[in-house]
Chains A and B, each alone.
Chain A
Amino acid sequence: MAANMKVKERVAKKQTLCGALMLIEALKAENVKVIFGYPGGAVLPIYDKLYESGVFHVLTRHEQGAIHAAEGYARISGKPGVVIATSGPGATNIVTGLTDAMMDSIPLVVFTGQVASSVIGSDAFQEADVLGITMPITKHSYQVRDVHELPKIIKEAFHIATTGRPGPVLIDIPKDMAVAEAEFDYEQDVQLPGYQPTTKPNHLQIRKLVEAVSQAKRPVILAGAGVLHANAHEQLKQYAEQQHIPVIHTLLGLGGFPADHPLFLGMAGMHGTYTANMALYECDLLINVGARFDDRVTGNLAHFAPKATVAHIDIDPAEIGKNVPTKIPIVGDAKEALIQLIEQNGKRPDVSEWLKQLNEWKREYPLMYKREPGVLKPQRLIEMIHEYTNGEAVVTTDVGQHQMWVAQYYKFKQPHRWVTSGGLGTMGFGLPAAIGAQLAQPEATVVSIVGDGGFQMTLQELSVIQELNLPIKIVIVNNQALGMVRQWQEIFYEKRYSHSLIPNQPDFVRLAEAYGMKAMRATTEEEAEYVLKEALATNAPVLLDFHVCPGENVYPMVAPGKGLHEMVGVKW
């Protein structure tokens, strides 16, 4: 509170500041605790002011690391991640992270440097049309053309990034704008007539849903990351229990509903559980809360929820009806909508038959893998991590087989523990994201589970982990292959393993040691148990290289183009 007052006093003075100082003062006023970035020519004036600002800045070893770290921070803290990159190559290096944040609705405020206004458009040194490049992958973007506008722009950027459907906002700052001076007034209201997100759902539509629920025989809730963005996990549980409706999660929604709850059916989609996918196929009422009906969740749309009345709660009206025709559209914040639904306390549907069927599927078709003596099964590895962390760790991943095994076998009980690249499916995401996650929750056990392929895309960030002594446990699920690519080649391309096998991986243990980090290797279950326990007992970063069974595949599976009811690999 006292610190807050100080900021207000300082801001209220309306001093004349240069653009770089305005940026720093604005970050302080927004209560930004950490920024991730990488300096360069165009942002030198900003970095010069940063030098003595007291703002905590993390120097990643690549701009991609900075933006993924900011995403990890945002996904865990719920606060916007802040990034600074320089012009040209610095800015183009954040393109992947921007797209990732856009796809997964992650709030970011990203500052890029730009060449001086006088030479913009002349192909100057380190110039790139960052606004043009990033327009389709940001929620909104600005280029500062007059330093007087900078405070207003930053204020709007934070507002836009964090409200409605969250997303990344970019501010491109020409070098001369960082030096030019103007009056700094941050105490102003945001006025954006073209941006008025609807948070309060329409009462009539809520009534319609209550009515539909009371009539339903086989209702199901599909809950996405919107539940987590809205902090609506408690309301979700309350509503599901009140109405006795089973819950399915999307990949990004995991943790929004406790995995050990009797009403939980698991994850839906390509590598979802049989029960969840069959429930989506057989349900007569599908209540989507904050999910966008991604194709990895729906499978072939022609066979998606063919018997169901679809209700869709989403803060983004454009998501409703985009992929799946919707009978009951509810535009609004997931929490507000669920609160209204709970308050309506409608007639509970009779779901006894339905739950009986679902429980039968659960018993009959659980997730499964074969354990073999002397071999470390990746699924078993994830189970062990789950066990030794009590299912309470913050887990970050890359994309691919290991990601799916974590989604299947790490039973998330709590929200905001799961950090993965869902929409974009970004290799190299997990390691830098863990940095942000650990900074957001210094007390949490952070486990970064990555594949041997993705790890090598951003492994230079080991340097940051070691430097800041972040006690992250890095788990490499090493199968000497780009596992998911290999799996698809095995199934769909007649085992023609075109450039997916990498038998000559570097010695990851010695690599980590080169960074000054403790590291261990395990090739059997017993060894895995030993090194995991030892690593988790260490309050320092540890890298663990697990040589898992290389030919293991992710099952069950819905092949592309198939419906959710056409899963394969559900039985021995």
Chain B
Amino acid sequence: MKRIITMTVNNRPGVLNRITGLFTKRHYNIESITVGHTESEGISRMTFVVNVEDERIAEQITKQLNKQIDVLKVVDITDQAIIVRELALIKVAVTPATRGEIYTLIEPFRAAIVDVARDSLVVQVTGEPEKIDALIDLLKPYGLKEVARTGTTAFPRGSQRASSTNKSLFII
């Protein structure tokens, strides 16, 4: 089962190492990690996606993370109302004949072209990981030159901590 765990940590050198090391030591497999600053100085927010066997292991992960001195708060938000987002940059091969087609194709995904070259386009897309999978599938026949995905970041909906500036990040 897939679990989404978020936490706030002291932004100290080695913190990420400490946490990923814990996952390795305890034999938990990480699917993705995203890290970035929060509204408070010196505090970062991490979002983990892990695939675990059962609830018990999910609980163990949360508890073990909580034991880290530099970890301030850990929440398994999988079962909450959440906004889940990932960003991907997709460089796709184009010919003069397919360029227009791709423009119309990506429109329903609310994706954007962020770079244009003679024989390629870079598409930027944000959304739930499944939506990104779908777009990549759709673009595959044209020839994918490169794909860069950020990994999942997530946020509880209407949480008290969410300020308007934070929200705007996730509305896109």
* A321, CB-defined interface residue at 8 Å: yes
Chain A residues with Cβ below 8 Å from B68 are: 194
* A551, CB-defined interface residue at 8 Å: no
Q: Once the chains bind, are B56 and A325 in contact (CB under 8 Å)? A: yes
Chain B residues with Cβ below 8 Å from A135 are: 14, 17-18, 21
Chain B residues with Cβ below 8 Å from A195 are: 69
* B135, CB-defined interface residue at 8 Å: no
* A499, CB-defined interface residue at 8 Å: no
Measured CA separation A283–B66 after assembly (Å): 33
Report A145 CB to chain B, min CB distance, Å. 8
Q: Once the chains bind, are B72 and A193 in contact (CB under 8 Å)? A: yes
Measured CA separation A545–B9 after assembly (Å): 54
Chain A residues with Cβ below 8 Å from B9 are: 194
Q: Contacts A160-B69, A194-B71, A194-B72 known; A321 to B17 CB distance under 8 Å?
A: no
Measured CA separation A131–B10 after assembly (Å): 17
* B133, CB-defined interface residue at 8 Å: no
16 cross-chain CB contacts under 8 A: A132-B17, A135-B21, A136-B22, A140-B69, A160-B69, A193-B72, A194-B10, A194-B68, A194-B69, A194-B72, A317-B66, A318-B63, A318-B64, A321-B56, A321-B60, A325-B56
Q: Closest A residue to B60 by CB, please name it.
A: A322
* B59, CB-defined interface residue at 8 Å: yes
Q: Once the chains bind, are A136 and B21 in contact (CB under 8 Å)? A: yes
Binding site for B on A (CB under 8 A): 131-132, 135-136, 139-140, 143, 145, 160, 192-195, 316-318, 321-322, 325
Q: Closest A residue to B56 by CB, please name it.
A: A321
Chain A residues with Cβ below 8 Å from B67 are: 316, 318
Q: Closest B residue to A139 by CB, please name it.
A: B69
* B70, CB-defined interface residue at 8 Å: yes
Q: Once the chains bind, are A131 and B14 in contact (CB under 8 Å)? A: yes
* B118, CB-defined interface residue at 8 Å: no
- 15 A-B pairs besides A135-B14, A194-B9, A194-B68 with CB distance below 8 A are A132-B17, A135-B21, A136-B21, A136-B22, A136-B24, A140-B69, A143-B13, A192-B69, A194-B70, A194-B72, A317-B63, A317-B66, A318-B63, A318-B66, A321-B59
Chain B residues with Cβ below 8 Å from A318 are: 60, 63-64, 66-67
* B25, CB-defined interface residue at 8 Å: yes
Binding site for A on B (CB under 8 A): 9-10, 13-14, 17-18, 21-22, 24-25, 56, 59-60, 63-64, 66-72
Chain A residues with Cβ below 8 Å from B10 are: 194
Measured CA separation A192–B72 after assembly (Å): 9
Measured CA separation A287–B26 after assembly (Å): 26
Q: Closest B residue to A325 by CB, please name it.
A: B56
Report A50 CB to chain B, min CB distance, Å. 28
Q: A-B contact count, CB below 8 Å?
A: 40
Q: Closest B residue to A131 by CB, please name it.
A: B14
Measured CA separation A193–B71 after assembly (Å): 9
Report A78 CB to chain B, min CB distance, Å. 22
Chain A residues with Cβ below 8 Å from B14 are: 131-132, 135, 143
Could you say which of B25, B60, B70, B72 contacts A136, with CB atoms under 8 Å apart?
Answer: B25
Chain A residues with Cβ below 8 Å from B66 are: 317-318
Chain B residues with Cβ below 8 Å from A317 are: 63, 66
Measured CA separation A131–B15 after assembly (Å): 11
Chain A residues with Cβ below 8 Å from B17 are: 132, 135
Chain B residues with Cβ below 8 Å from A192 are: 69
Chain B residues with Cβ below 8 Å from A194 are: 9-10, 68-72
Chain B residues with Cβ below 8 Å from A139 are: 69
Instruction: For the complex of A and B, list the 6 residue pairs with the smallest distance between their C-beta atoms, beginning with the closest.
Output: A318-B63, A140-B69, A194-B72, A136-B25, A195-B69, A135-B21
Chain B residues with Cβ below 8 Å from A316 are: 67
Chain A residues with Cβ below 8 Å from B59 are: 321
Report A141 CB to chain B, min CB distance, Å. 8
Measured CA separation A397–B155 after assembly (Å): 52
Measured CA separation A325–B67 after assembly (Å): 20
Measured CA separation A458–B63 after assembly (Å): 37
Chain B residues with Cβ below 8 Å from A131 are: 14
Chain B residues with Cβ below 8 Å from A321 are: 56, 59-60
Measured CA separation A325–B55 after assembly (Å): 12
Chain A residues with Cβ below 8 Å from B63 are: 317-318
Report B44 CB to chain A, min CB distance, Å. 12
Report A292 CB to chain B, min CB distance, Å. 13
Measured CA separation A140–B67 after assembly (Å): 10
Measured CA separation A317–B63 after assembly (Å): 7
Measured CA separation A136–B71 after assembly (Å): 15
Measured CA separation A321–B63 after assembly (Å): 10
Report A301 CB to chain B, min CB distance, Å. 12
Measured CA separation A316–B60 after assembly (Å): 12
Chain B residues with Cβ below 8 Å from A322 are: 60
Measured CA separation A136–B13 after assembly (Å): 16
Chain B residues with Cβ below 8 Å from A325 are: 56
Measured CA separation A194–B69 after assembly (Å): 5
Report A160 CB to chain B, min CB distance, Å. 6
Q: Closest A residue to B10 by CB, please name it.
A: A194
Measured CA separation A135–B68 after assembly (Å): 11
Interface centre among A132, A192, A195, A318, by most B CB within 10 Å? Answer: A318
Measured CA separation A36–B29 after assembly (Å): 39
Measured CA separation A321–B17 after assembly (Å): 26
Chain A residues with Cβ below 8 Å from B72 are: 193-194
